[in-house]
Each structure stands twice: as structure tokens, then as C-alpha cells.
């Protein structure tokens, strides 16, 4: 056992400038991978890359709007000029709160373009070079919203359901080319988005709102980004070479232990 090391691996992490993506980028670097951080927030991506360097790891930062197919192709071409890519983690995404009649077409399309089309663009650019190099690993960050009925998460649930379906399709279609494709479906994770959501919607009652949101998981708390990162580390390591076409709910008992 080598502790799920990623030595001599190169990983692209989309949305790696903050939240779950940042935790994955930091974790992968700690366990030996060269990490390419790709994010719409170029400054934050660069700060994360610098943090990795300060900790003794190797990383580069790349600005990209994944909703733009041409820009995505150009950025990934430049990344592949630096080195091959062994691992692609699709963590870039946006959330949305609203049910059917409170979700505008513009909001619906924005969530679709970022979460679905963005993931599609990234995988489309990375699969051919992975095939050419004899295989690779793709990990998509989905959500329990893909398969559970969550209140006021209409557009977000749609997008994560699509991400999960795309994961299964890619796993099936490229099984013979030695590309593994899996998904992690977290429940609520304590990220800057959650803090911003609470601050905006519950001014003066932040602590109460945080406690209520935490209690919605039977385990009694939200997940921490590093916990998602450790599962991602395993799924992208050689020790998980028998796993493909799988979705891993990381839900604190949400599905099976609710009263």
C-alpha cells in the first residue's frame, strides 16, 4: 500500500480556486500530483497555485470560462503543451435556490451552461488525449440533488442529474480505452457559498440558520471540503483501478437514515 499516492500523475482540477475544488487541488498536490488549477477566477486560482508551491508542491493556474467551448479548447490545448494529463476532476459549478415557478429561463440556462455544458466541454477536450496516452481518470462532482428531491433546488438538481448521467455514459463508452469515470455526490458541504447564502438570506440569524442547515444531515453536521477531497484522492488513485461508472453519495446518512 502506498497511501493512495499520485506521484508522477498530472491532475486538472476545474473550479480549483475555492471550495471543494480547492480542497481537492491541495490534497492531490500533497499526495504527489502536479496540479493544473482551472477556474473562472484567475486571481484566486493563482493564489491557490502559489499556496501549493509554498507547501512544496507543483501547480499552475489557468483562467477559463467553461461555458465557452472555444476558450475551453484553447486553455486545455495549452495545458497539454505543458504535459500529459492523467486525471480530470470537474468541480466547477454554480448553485441556485428556487423551485419551478421561481426559476427564470435566464437562471435555468445559466445553471445548465456552467454545470452541464462546462463539464461536457472539459471532458470533450480531455478524453481524446487520455485515449492517446493509454487511459486516464475522470471524476465529476455531482450532488445528492441528482437523485433526491430537495426543496427549491429545481435547476441545480436538473444540472447535477445531467452530470451523473454523463458520468455513466463516459464510463461505458470509454471502458475499452482504459478511462475510468466516476462521480461523488455530496450532501451539504461547508464552503464559502454556504456562508454567503446564510449571510444574504438570514442576516442577524446566521448561527441559527447554520445550525438548521447542519441538522438536515442525520449525522448532525455539514461535510468539510477536505473530506470530499480524501474520497476524490482514493477514486483517482491506482488503488481504485477496479472502480468505474460509480456514484458515491457522501451524504451524512441523508438517504438511508432520515427519520
Domain ranges of the chain: 10-187+224-245, 191-222
Q: What does the pLDDT read at residue 164?
A: 98
Q: Say if residue 112's pLDDT is above 90.
A: yes
Is 156 in the active site?
A: yes
Chain segment 57-90, per-residue pLDDT in tens: 999 999 999 999 999 999 999 999 999 999 999 9
b/e 145-172 (16+ beta carbons within 10 angstroms → b) = bbebebeebbbbbbbbbbbbebbbebbe
Alpha helices in the chain (DSSP H): 19-30, 42-54, 69-82, 105-111, 118-132, 154-173, 192-201, 206-215, 225-236
Orientation of helix 154-173 relative to helix 118-132, angle to 10°? 10
Residue 193 confidence class, pLDDT cut points 50, 70, 90: confident
Specify the higher pLDDT residue, 1 or 43. Answer: 43
Chain segment 25-59, per-residue pLDDT in tens: 999 999 999 999 999 999 999 999 999 999 999 99
Q: Of 31, 156, 174, 248, which is the active-site residue?
A: 156
The pLDDT mean for the chain works out to: 95
**Check: CATH 3.40.50.1220 for 10-187+224-245?**
no
The three cell numbers locating residue 12: 486538472
The three cell numbers locating residue 87: 486525471
Q: What does the pLDDT read at residue 1?
A: 54
Residue 201 confidence class, pLDDT cut points 50, 70, 90: confident
Lowest mean pLDDT among 2-6, 38-42, 73-77, 250-254: 2-6
Q: What does the pLDDT read at residue 216?
A: 86
Average pLDDT of span 1-28: 93
Amino acid at each position: 500500500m502506498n497511501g493512495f499516492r499520485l506521484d508522477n500523475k498530472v491532475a486538472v482540477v476545474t473550479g480549483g480556486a475555492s471550495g471543494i475544488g480547492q480542497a481537492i487541488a491541495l490534497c492531490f498536490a500533497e499526495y504527489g500530483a502536479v496540479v493544473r488549477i482551472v477556474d473562472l477566477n484567475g486571481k484566486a486560482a493563482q493564489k491557490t497555485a502559489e499556496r501549493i508551491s509554498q507547501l512544496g508542491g507543483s501547480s499552475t493556474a489557468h483562467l477559463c470560462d467553461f461555458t465557452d467551448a472555444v476558450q475551453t479548447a484553447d486553455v486545455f490545448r495549452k495545458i497539454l503543451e505543458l504535459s500529459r494529463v492523467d486525471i480530470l476532476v470537474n468541480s466547477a459549478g454554480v448553485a441556485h435556490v428556487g423551485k419551478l415557478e421561481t426559476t427564470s429561463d435566464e437562471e435555468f440556462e445559466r445553471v445548465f451552461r456552467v454545470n452541464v455544458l462546462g463539464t461536457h466541454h472539459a471532458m470533450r477536450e480531455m478524453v481524446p488525449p487520455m485515449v492517446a496516452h493509454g487511459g486516464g481518470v475522470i471524476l465529476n462532482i455531482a450532488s445528492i440533488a441528482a437523485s433526491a428531491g430537495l426543496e427549491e433546488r429545481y435547476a441545480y438538481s436538473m444540472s447535477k442529474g445531467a452530470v451523473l448521467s454523463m458520468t455513466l455514459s463516459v464510463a461505458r463508452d470509454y471502458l475499452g480505452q482504459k478511462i475510468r469515470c466516476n462521480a461523488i455526490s455530496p450532501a451539504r458541504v461547508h464552503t464559502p457559498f454556504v456562508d454567503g447564502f446564510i449571510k444574504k438570506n438570514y442576516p442577524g440569524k446566521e448561527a441559527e440558520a447554520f445550525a438548521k442547515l447542519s441538522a438536515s444531515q442525520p449525522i448532525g453536521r455539514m461535510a468539510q471540503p477536505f473530506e470530499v477531497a480524501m474520497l476524490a484522492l482514493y477514486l483517482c488513485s491506482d488503488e481504485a483501478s477496479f472502480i468505474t461508472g460509480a456514484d458515491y453519495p457522501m451524504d451524512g446518512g441523508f438517504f438511508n437514515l432520515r427519520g
